[in-house]
Amino acid sequence: MNVRTRMAPSPTGEYHIGGMRTLLYNYAYAKKEGGKFILRIEDTDRERLVPGATERLIQVIKDYGLGWDEGPGVGGPYAPYVQSERLAIYKKYADQLVESGHAYYCFCTKERLEKLREDQQAQKLSSTKYDKHCLKLSSDEVKAKLSSGTSYVIRLNVPADEEVSFEDKVLGKITFPTNDIDDQVLLKSDGFPTYHLAVVVDDHLMNITLVMRGFEWLPSTSKHILLYKALGWEFPAHGHIPLLKELGATKKLSKRMGSVAAVEFLSDGYLPEALLNFLMFLGWNPGTEKEIYTLEEFIHDFSIEKIHKTDLVVFDRDKLSWFNGYYIRNKSDTELYAALKEWAQKYSIELNGADKNDEYNLSVLKLVKDRMRTLKDFNELTSYFYNYSGFDKDTAVKFAESEAKLKAILQNFVKVYEGVQTVDWTSQSLDKLSHAVLETYGYNTKEAFMTLRVVVTGQTATPPLFDIMEVIGKEATLARLRKF
Protein backbone atom coordinates (compact mmCIF):
# COMPACT_ATOMS: atom_id res chain seq x y z
CA MET A 1 0.00 0.00 0.00
CA ASN A 2 1.28 3.45 -0.89
CA VAL A 3 1.19 5.56 2.28
CA ARG A 4 -0.52 8.93 1.86
CA THR A 5 -1.01 11.38 4.71
CA ARG A 6 -2.37 14.89 4.61
CA MET A 7 -2.81 18.14 6.48
CA ALA A 8 -5.82 20.27 5.71
CA PRO A 9 -5.58 23.64 7.47
CA SER A 10 -8.42 26.13 7.42
CA PRO A 11 -7.53 29.73 6.46
CA THR A 12 -9.62 31.29 9.22
CA GLY A 13 -6.66 33.05 10.84
CA GLU A 14 -2.94 32.58 11.48
CA TYR A 15 -1.80 28.96 11.46
CA HIS A 16 -1.72 27.57 15.01
CA ILE A 17 1.49 26.10 16.43
CA GLY A 18 -0.47 22.94 17.29
CA GLY A 19 -1.38 22.56 13.63
CA MET A 20 2.29 22.76 12.73
CA ARG A 21 3.05 19.93 15.18
CA THR A 22 0.30 17.76 13.61
CA LEU A 23 1.59 18.61 10.14
CA LEU A 24 5.11 17.61 11.19
CA TYR A 25 3.92 14.18 12.40
CA ASN A 26 1.99 13.53 9.18
CA TYR A 27 4.96 14.69 7.11
CA ALA A 28 7.40 12.50 9.03
CA TYR A 29 5.23 9.39 8.80
CA ALA A 30 4.77 9.75 5.05
CA LYS A 31 8.47 10.33 4.46
CA LYS A 32 9.52 7.42 6.66
CA GLU A 33 7.20 5.06 4.78
CA GLY A 34 8.31 6.33 1.39
CA GLY A 35 4.86 7.78 0.79
CA LYS A 36 3.34 11.13 -0.11
CA PHE A 37 2.35 14.06 2.08
CA ILE A 38 -0.54 16.16 0.78
CA LEU A 39 -1.51 19.72 1.68
CA ARG A 40 -5.18 20.58 1.20
CA ILE A 41 -6.82 23.91 1.97
CA GLU A 42 -10.19 23.59 3.75
CA ASP A 43 -11.73 26.98 3.01
CA THR A 44 -15.43 26.09 3.12
CA ASP A 45 -16.15 28.04 6.32
CA ARG A 46 -16.90 31.24 4.46
CA GLU A 47 -18.02 33.20 7.52
CA ARG A 48 -14.67 32.80 9.28
CA LEU A 49 -12.49 33.00 6.18
CA VAL A 50 -9.72 35.60 6.55
CA PRO A 51 -8.40 37.24 3.36
CA GLY A 52 -4.76 36.38 2.73
CA ALA A 53 -4.71 33.60 5.35
CA THR A 54 -4.16 30.86 2.77
CA GLU A 55 -1.05 32.54 1.40
CA ARG A 56 0.27 33.15 4.91
CA LEU A 57 -0.22 29.58 6.11
CA ILE A 58 1.48 28.24 2.97
CA GLN A 59 4.40 30.59 3.59
CA VAL A 60 4.79 29.73 7.28
CA ILE A 61 4.90 26.00 6.51
CA LYS A 62 7.76 26.72 4.10
CA ASP A 63 9.44 28.99 6.66
CA TYR A 64 9.48 26.08 9.11
CA GLY A 65 11.41 24.10 6.52
CA LEU A 66 8.60 21.76 5.51
CA GLY A 67 6.90 21.10 2.19
CA TRP A 68 4.38 18.85 0.47
CA ASP A 69 4.32 16.40 -2.42
CA GLU A 70 0.87 17.39 -3.68
CA GLY A 71 -1.15 20.51 -3.06
CA PRO A 72 -1.29 24.23 -3.79
CA GLY A 73 1.59 25.44 -5.90
CA VAL A 74 2.73 21.88 -6.53
CA GLY A 75 -0.29 20.27 -8.14
CA GLY A 76 -0.90 16.56 -8.31
CA PRO A 77 -3.26 13.91 -9.71
CA TYR A 78 -6.18 14.87 -7.45
CA ALA A 79 -6.29 18.62 -8.03
CA PRO A 80 -7.75 20.99 -7.14
CA TYR A 81 -6.47 20.88 -3.56
CA VAL A 82 -8.57 23.85 -2.43
CA GLN A 83 -12.04 22.85 -1.25
CA SER A 84 -13.85 25.93 -2.52
CA GLU A 85 -12.86 24.77 -6.01
CA ARG A 86 -14.45 21.34 -5.48
CA LEU A 87 -18.08 22.27 -4.71
CA ALA A 88 -19.59 20.24 -7.54
CA ILE A 89 -17.87 17.13 -6.20
CA TYR A 90 -19.40 17.53 -2.74
CA LYS A 91 -22.86 18.22 -4.19
CA LYS A 92 -22.66 15.00 -6.19
CA TYR A 93 -22.01 12.89 -3.09
CA ALA A 94 -24.51 14.78 -0.94
CA ASP A 95 -27.21 14.01 -3.56
CA GLN A 96 -26.06 10.38 -3.63
CA LEU A 97 -26.51 10.15 0.14
CA VAL A 98 -30.03 11.61 -0.12
CA GLU A 99 -30.95 9.14 -2.85
CA SER A 100 -29.74 6.20 -0.76
CA GLY A 101 -31.61 7.38 2.35
CA HIS A 102 -28.45 8.09 4.34
CA ALA A 103 -29.12 11.84 4.24
CA TYR A 104 -32.16 14.09 3.84
CA TYR A 105 -33.24 17.63 3.04
CA CYS A 106 -33.89 19.88 6.01
CA PHE A 107 -35.93 23.06 5.52
CA CYS A 108 -36.07 24.19 9.15
CA THR A 109 -35.59 27.90 9.76
CA LYS A 110 -32.98 29.33 12.10
CA GLU A 111 -35.80 30.34 14.42
CA ARG A 112 -37.13 26.78 14.70
CA LEU A 113 -33.66 25.36 15.30
CA GLU A 114 -32.97 27.94 17.99
CA LYS A 115 -36.30 27.16 19.70
CA LEU A 116 -35.49 23.45 19.54
CA ARG A 117 -32.12 24.08 21.17
CA GLU A 118 -33.63 26.19 23.93
CA ASP A 119 -36.30 23.58 24.69
CA GLN A 120 -33.73 20.79 24.93
CA GLN A 121 -31.47 22.90 27.13
CA ALA A 122 -34.46 23.63 29.41
CA GLN A 123 -34.91 19.86 29.73
CA LYS A 124 -31.26 19.71 30.88
CA LEU A 125 -30.35 17.17 28.22
CA SER A 126 -26.66 16.23 28.07
CA SER A 127 -26.48 17.54 24.50
CA THR A 128 -28.79 19.13 21.96
CA LYS A 129 -29.65 17.32 18.73
CA TYR A 130 -31.79 17.86 15.70
CA ASP A 131 -35.17 16.09 16.08
CA LYS A 132 -35.38 14.65 12.53
CA HIS A 133 -38.47 16.80 11.88
CA CYS A 134 -37.78 17.10 8.13
CA LEU A 135 -37.07 13.40 7.77
CA LYS A 136 -40.81 12.89 8.40
CA LEU A 137 -41.82 15.01 5.40
CA SER A 138 -43.43 13.11 2.54
CA SER A 139 -41.67 12.98 -0.83
CA ASP A 140 -44.36 15.26 -2.26
CA GLU A 141 -43.78 17.83 0.49
CA VAL A 142 -40.04 17.71 -0.16
CA LYS A 143 -40.54 18.15 -3.92
CA ALA A 144 -42.91 21.07 -3.35
CA LYS A 145 -40.43 22.87 -1.11
CA LEU A 146 -37.59 22.28 -3.53
CA SER A 147 -39.72 23.52 -6.46
CA SER A 148 -40.68 26.67 -4.57
CA GLY A 149 -37.04 27.47 -3.86
CA THR A 150 -37.27 27.02 -0.09
CA SER A 151 -33.84 27.23 1.47
CA TYR A 152 -32.48 23.90 2.69
CA VAL A 153 -29.52 22.02 4.03
CA ILE A 154 -28.71 18.34 3.68
CA ARG A 155 -28.37 16.37 6.93
CA LEU A 156 -26.84 13.01 7.75
CA ASN A 157 -29.47 10.42 8.69
CA VAL A 158 -27.95 8.83 11.77
CA PRO A 159 -29.46 5.40 12.57
CA ALA A 160 -30.78 4.85 16.09
CA ASP A 161 -29.72 2.22 18.63
CA GLU A 162 -26.49 1.19 16.93
CA GLU A 163 -22.80 1.46 17.67
CA VAL A 164 -19.91 2.53 15.49
CA SER A 165 -16.36 1.48 16.34
CA PHE A 166 -12.88 1.83 14.98
CA GLU A 167 -9.32 1.01 16.07
CA ASP A 168 -7.53 4.28 16.72
CA LYS A 169 -3.82 3.97 15.82
CA VAL A 170 -2.92 5.91 18.97
CA LEU A 171 -5.73 5.34 21.48
CA GLY A 172 -6.91 1.82 20.66
CA LYS A 173 -10.51 0.74 20.16
CA ILE A 174 -13.09 3.54 20.31
CA THR A 175 -16.86 2.97 20.27
CA PHE A 176 -19.66 5.52 19.81
CA PRO A 177 -23.40 4.90 20.43
CA THR A 178 -25.31 6.35 17.48
CA ASN A 179 -27.94 7.73 19.85
CA ASP A 180 -25.32 10.30 20.91
CA ILE A 181 -24.62 11.41 17.33
CA ASP A 182 -26.47 14.39 15.86
CA ASP A 183 -27.89 14.47 12.33
CA GLN A 184 -24.98 16.61 11.18
CA VAL A 185 -25.47 19.16 8.40
CA LEU A 186 -23.44 17.94 5.40
CA LEU A 187 -24.26 20.56 2.79
CA LYS A 188 -25.13 24.13 3.79
CA SER A 189 -27.75 26.32 2.21
CA ASP A 190 -25.07 28.29 0.34
CA GLY A 191 -23.94 25.12 -1.45
CA PHE A 192 -20.75 24.76 0.56
CA PRO A 193 -20.10 21.50 2.38
CA THR A 194 -19.46 21.31 6.09
CA TYR A 195 -16.15 19.95 7.28
CA HIS A 196 -17.61 16.49 7.80
CA LEU A 197 -18.74 15.86 4.24
CA ALA A 198 -15.77 17.56 2.58
CA VAL A 199 -13.11 15.82 4.64
CA VAL A 200 -14.57 12.36 4.00
CA VAL A 201 -15.01 12.92 0.27
CA ASP A 202 -11.57 14.43 -0.17
CA ASP A 203 -9.74 11.87 1.94
CA HIS A 204 -11.34 9.07 -0.07
CA LEU A 205 -10.83 10.60 -3.51
CA MET A 206 -7.24 11.57 -2.68
CA ASN A 207 -6.51 8.03 -1.44
CA ILE A 208 -5.46 9.12 2.05
CA THR A 209 -4.33 6.02 3.95
CA LEU A 210 -3.84 7.58 7.40
CA VAL A 211 -5.71 10.48 8.99
CA MET A 212 -3.60 11.75 11.89
CA ARG A 213 -5.22 14.70 13.62
CA GLY A 214 -5.71 16.37 17.00
CA PHE A 215 -7.67 14.81 19.85
CA GLU A 216 -10.44 17.40 19.50
CA TRP A 217 -11.59 15.72 16.28
CA LEU A 218 -12.23 12.37 17.95
CA PRO A 219 -16.02 12.91 18.40
CA SER A 220 -16.32 13.80 14.69
CA THR A 221 -14.91 10.42 13.72
CA SER A 222 -18.22 8.73 14.51
CA LYS A 223 -19.97 10.80 11.83
CA HIS A 224 -17.18 10.13 9.38
CA ILE A 225 -17.43 6.38 9.91
CA LEU A 226 -21.16 6.57 9.10
CA LEU A 227 -20.41 8.54 5.93
CA TYR A 228 -17.77 6.10 4.74
CA LYS A 229 -20.18 3.24 5.34
CA ALA A 230 -23.07 5.02 3.60
CA LEU A 231 -20.92 5.76 0.55
CA GLY A 232 -19.56 2.22 0.43
CA TRP A 233 -15.97 3.34 0.95
CA GLU A 234 -13.19 1.82 3.02
CA PHE A 235 -12.50 3.72 6.25
CA PRO A 236 -8.81 4.77 6.32
CA ALA A 237 -6.63 4.38 9.40
CA HIS A 238 -7.14 7.13 11.95
CA GLY A 239 -5.00 8.28 14.85
CA HIS A 240 -5.77 11.10 17.29
CA ILE A 241 -2.82 12.84 18.91
CA PRO A 242 -2.68 15.01 22.05
CA LEU A 243 -3.56 18.67 22.09
CA LEU A 244 -1.21 21.24 23.61
CA LYS A 245 -1.63 22.89 27.00
CA GLU A 246 0.32 25.49 28.95
CA LEU A 247 2.65 24.33 31.71
CA GLY A 248 0.59 23.95 34.90
CA ALA A 249 -2.71 24.39 33.06
CA THR A 250 -5.54 21.96 32.37
CA LYS A 251 -6.83 23.55 29.19
CA LYS A 252 -5.60 24.04 25.65
CA LEU A 253 -2.84 26.45 24.70
CA SER A 254 -3.95 30.06 25.12
CA LYS A 255 -2.69 33.27 23.60
CA ARG A 256 -3.12 34.82 27.05
CA MET A 257 0.12 33.05 27.98
CA GLY A 258 2.07 34.05 24.89
CA SER A 259 2.35 33.32 21.20
CA VAL A 260 0.18 30.55 19.75
CA ALA A 261 0.40 31.27 16.01
CA ALA A 262 3.24 29.50 14.21
CA VAL A 263 4.43 32.72 12.57
CA GLU A 264 4.63 34.53 15.93
CA PHE A 265 7.32 32.16 17.17
CA LEU A 266 9.40 32.94 14.10
CA SER A 267 8.92 36.68 14.50
CA ASP A 268 9.80 36.32 18.20
CA GLY A 269 13.21 35.09 17.13
CA TYR A 270 12.96 31.32 17.37
CA LEU A 271 14.88 29.35 14.75
CA PRO A 272 12.86 26.97 12.52
CA GLU A 273 15.12 24.01 13.35
CA ALA A 274 14.71 24.63 17.09
CA LEU A 275 10.95 24.94 16.75
CA LEU A 276 10.71 21.67 14.82
CA ASN A 277 12.91 19.89 17.37
CA PHE A 278 10.67 21.17 20.17
CA LEU A 279 7.47 20.20 18.35
CA MET A 280 8.75 16.67 17.81
CA PHE A 281 8.48 15.98 21.53
CA LEU A 282 4.97 17.38 22.00
CA GLY A 283 3.23 14.03 22.11
CA TRP A 284 6.04 11.74 20.94
CA ASN A 285 9.08 10.31 22.66
CA PRO A 286 11.77 8.07 21.20
CA GLY A 287 12.16 6.17 24.47
CA THR A 288 15.78 7.29 24.81
CA GLU A 289 17.63 10.23 26.36
CA LYS A 290 18.22 11.77 22.94
CA GLU A 291 16.71 15.27 22.67
CA ILE A 292 18.46 16.94 19.75
CA TYR A 293 16.99 15.78 16.45
CA THR A 294 17.43 16.94 12.92
CA LEU A 295 14.37 16.57 10.71
CA GLU A 296 16.01 13.63 8.94
CA GLU A 297 16.72 11.86 12.24
CA PHE A 298 13.15 12.42 13.38
CA ILE A 299 11.76 10.94 10.18
CA HIS A 300 13.97 7.89 10.70
CA ASP A 301 12.93 7.35 14.34
CA PHE A 302 9.28 8.42 14.18
CA SER A 303 6.60 5.84 14.88
CA ILE A 304 2.94 6.13 15.80
CA GLU A 305 3.46 3.58 18.59
CA LYS A 306 5.57 6.14 20.47
CA ILE A 307 2.87 8.84 20.45
CA HIS A 308 1.46 9.53 23.93
CA LYS A 309 -1.99 8.11 24.64
CA THR A 310 -3.41 11.22 26.27
CA ASP A 311 -5.55 14.20 25.36
CA LEU A 312 -3.16 16.98 26.42
CA VAL A 313 0.63 17.46 26.51
CA VAL A 314 2.57 20.34 28.04
CA PHE A 315 3.82 23.15 25.84
CA ASP A 316 6.78 24.20 27.98
CA ARG A 317 7.91 27.61 26.75
CA ASP A 318 11.08 27.44 28.87
CA LYS A 319 12.00 24.19 27.18
CA LEU A 320 11.47 25.82 23.80
CA SER A 321 13.88 28.59 24.82
CA TRP A 322 16.39 25.93 25.88
CA PHE A 323 16.18 24.29 22.47
CA ASN A 324 16.54 27.63 20.73
CA GLY A 325 19.54 28.62 22.84
CA TYR A 326 21.17 25.31 21.95
CA TYR A 327 20.71 25.88 18.21
CA ILE A 328 21.93 29.48 18.48
CA ARG A 329 25.11 28.40 20.29
CA ASN A 330 25.80 25.65 17.78
CA LYS A 331 25.71 27.93 14.76
CA SER A 332 28.98 29.42 13.63
CA ASP A 333 29.27 33.16 14.23
CA THR A 334 28.84 33.90 10.53
CA GLU A 335 25.83 31.55 10.23
CA LEU A 336 24.17 33.15 13.22
CA TYR A 337 24.89 36.66 11.95
CA ALA A 338 23.34 35.79 8.58
CA ALA A 339 20.28 34.31 10.31
CA LEU A 340 19.99 37.40 12.50
CA LYS A 341 20.05 39.78 9.54
CA GLU A 342 17.60 37.66 7.55
CA TRP A 343 15.20 37.53 10.52
CA ALA A 344 15.43 41.30 11.08
CA GLN A 345 14.71 42.01 7.43
CA LYS A 346 11.83 39.52 7.19
CA TYR A 347 10.03 40.77 10.30
CA SER A 348 10.98 44.47 10.04
CA ILE A 349 13.12 44.48 13.17
CA GLU A 350 15.49 47.43 13.62
CA LEU A 351 18.69 45.64 14.54
CA ASN A 352 21.50 47.18 16.58
CA GLY A 353 24.53 47.85 14.41
CA ALA A 354 22.88 49.13 11.26
CA ASP A 355 25.49 51.92 11.18
CA LYS A 356 28.42 49.59 11.97
CA ASN A 357 30.39 47.29 9.72
CA ASP A 358 29.97 43.53 9.69
CA GLU A 359 33.32 42.96 11.38
CA TYR A 360 32.29 45.01 14.42
CA ASN A 361 28.84 43.42 14.60
CA LEU A 362 30.30 39.92 14.36
CA SER A 363 32.67 40.73 17.25
CA VAL A 364 29.70 41.86 19.33
CA LEU A 365 27.60 38.84 18.40
CA LYS A 366 30.43 36.49 19.34
CA LEU A 367 30.44 37.90 22.89
CA VAL A 368 26.69 37.65 23.53
CA LYS A 369 25.93 34.51 21.53
CA ASP A 370 26.03 32.15 24.53
CA ARG A 371 23.58 34.36 26.42
CA MET A 372 20.98 34.50 23.65
CA ARG A 373 17.84 32.38 23.84
CA THR A 374 16.13 34.03 20.87
CA LEU A 375 17.31 36.26 18.04
CA LYS A 376 15.30 39.03 19.65
CA ASP A 377 17.70 38.93 22.63
CA PHE A 378 20.50 40.41 20.50
CA ASN A 379 19.26 43.99 20.77
CA GLU A 380 18.69 43.80 24.51
CA LEU A 381 22.05 42.19 25.21
CA THR A 382 24.09 44.53 23.03
CA SER A 383 22.66 48.00 23.63
CA TYR A 384 25.82 49.29 25.36
CA PHE A 385 27.95 48.35 22.34
CA TYR A 386 25.98 50.76 20.19
CA ASN A 387 24.07 53.29 22.26
CA TYR A 388 25.85 54.07 25.52
CA SER A 389 23.42 55.81 27.85
CA GLY A 390 25.59 56.12 30.93
CA PHE A 391 25.32 54.21 34.19
CA ASP A 392 23.53 54.26 37.51
CA LYS A 393 25.78 56.17 39.90
CA ASP A 394 24.34 54.54 43.03
CA THR A 395 25.12 51.09 41.66
CA ALA A 396 28.71 52.06 40.90
CA VAL A 397 29.16 53.64 44.33
CA LYS A 398 27.80 50.46 45.97
CA PHE A 399 30.61 48.40 44.46
CA ALA A 400 33.31 51.06 45.11
CA GLU A 401 32.02 51.66 48.69
CA SER A 402 32.13 55.46 48.36
CA GLU A 403 31.91 58.16 45.73
CA ALA A 404 35.45 59.27 46.47
CA LYS A 405 36.79 55.77 46.00
CA LEU A 406 34.75 55.38 42.81
CA LYS A 407 36.42 58.48 41.41
CA ALA A 408 39.86 57.28 42.45
CA ILE A 409 39.36 53.83 40.90
CA LEU A 410 38.30 55.32 37.58
CA GLN A 411 41.14 57.85 37.54
CA ASN A 412 43.73 55.15 38.17
CA PHE A 413 42.38 52.95 35.39
CA VAL A 414 42.27 55.92 33.00
CA LYS A 415 45.93 56.75 33.68
CA VAL A 416 46.99 53.23 32.80
CA TYR A 417 44.72 52.86 29.78
CA GLU A 418 45.81 56.18 28.27
CA GLY A 419 49.30 54.80 27.84
CA VAL A 420 48.18 51.73 25.89
CA GLN A 421 48.94 51.81 22.19
CA THR A 422 45.92 51.14 19.97
CA VAL A 423 47.60 48.08 18.52
CA ASP A 424 47.99 46.66 22.05
CA TRP A 425 44.37 47.31 23.02
CA THR A 426 43.47 43.65 23.36
CA SER A 427 41.56 41.69 25.95
CA GLN A 428 44.69 39.86 27.05
CA SER A 429 46.81 42.98 27.58
CA LEU A 430 43.94 44.87 29.27
CA ASP A 431 43.45 41.97 31.66
CA LYS A 432 47.13 42.01 32.61
CA LEU A 433 47.32 45.79 33.00
CA SER A 434 44.10 45.96 35.01
CA HIS A 435 45.28 43.33 37.49
CA ALA A 436 48.47 45.35 37.91
CA VAL A 437 46.28 48.33 38.94
CA LEU A 438 44.70 46.15 41.63
CA GLU A 439 48.12 45.21 43.00
CA THR A 440 49.39 48.78 42.90
CA TYR A 441 46.44 50.33 44.77
CA GLY A 442 45.28 47.39 46.86
CA TYR A 443 41.83 47.12 45.36
CA ASN A 444 39.98 43.83 45.57
CA THR A 445 38.76 42.25 42.35
CA LYS A 446 35.05 42.83 42.92
CA GLU A 447 35.20 46.50 43.87
CA ALA A 448 37.54 47.40 41.03
CA PHE A 449 36.23 45.31 38.17
CA MET A 450 32.52 45.57 39.01
CA THR A 451 32.91 49.33 39.25
CA LEU A 452 34.64 49.30 35.88
CA ARG A 453 31.96 47.05 34.38
CA VAL A 454 29.09 49.25 35.56
CA VAL A 455 30.70 52.44 34.23
CA VAL A 456 31.78 51.00 30.87
CA THR A 457 28.56 49.10 30.11
CA GLY A 458 25.87 50.43 32.44
CA GLN A 459 25.21 46.77 33.37
CA THR A 460 26.10 44.46 36.24
CA ALA A 461 25.99 41.23 34.20
CA THR A 462 27.82 41.11 30.87
CA PRO A 463 30.22 38.98 28.85
CA PRO A 464 33.89 39.17 29.95
CA LEU A 465 34.72 42.80 30.67
CA PHE A 466 38.03 43.05 28.82
CA ASP A 467 36.56 41.37 25.75
CA ILE A 468 33.93 44.13 25.72
CA MET A 469 36.55 46.84 26.10
CA GLU A 470 38.57 45.39 23.21
CA VAL A 471 35.52 45.43 20.93
CA ILE A 472 34.33 48.96 21.73
CA GLY A 473 37.92 50.24 21.48
CA LYS A 474 40.25 52.49 23.39
CA GLU A 475 38.65 55.86 22.67
CA ALA A 476 35.11 54.74 23.50
CA THR A 477 36.27 53.06 26.71
CA LEU A 478 38.18 56.12 27.88
CA ALA A 479 35.31 58.44 26.97
CA ARG A 480 32.98 56.42 29.16
CA LEU A 481 35.38 56.35 32.09
CA ARG A 482 36.11 60.09 31.82
CA LYS A 483 32.42 60.93 31.70
CA PHE A 484 32.05 60.45 35.42
Contact 455, 410 (CB under 8 A): yes
Q: Nearest-5° angle of CA 216, CA 221, CA 223?
A: 125
Catalytic residue among 62, 255, 306, 407: 255
Label residues 342-357 b or e (16+ Cβ within 10 Å = b): ebbeeeebebbbeeee
- The 10 Å Cβ neighbour count of residue 396 is 22
- The 10 Å Cβ neighbour count of residue 378 is 27
Q: Verify whether residue 255 is a known catalytic residue.
A: yes
Task: Cite the active site residues.
Answer: 255
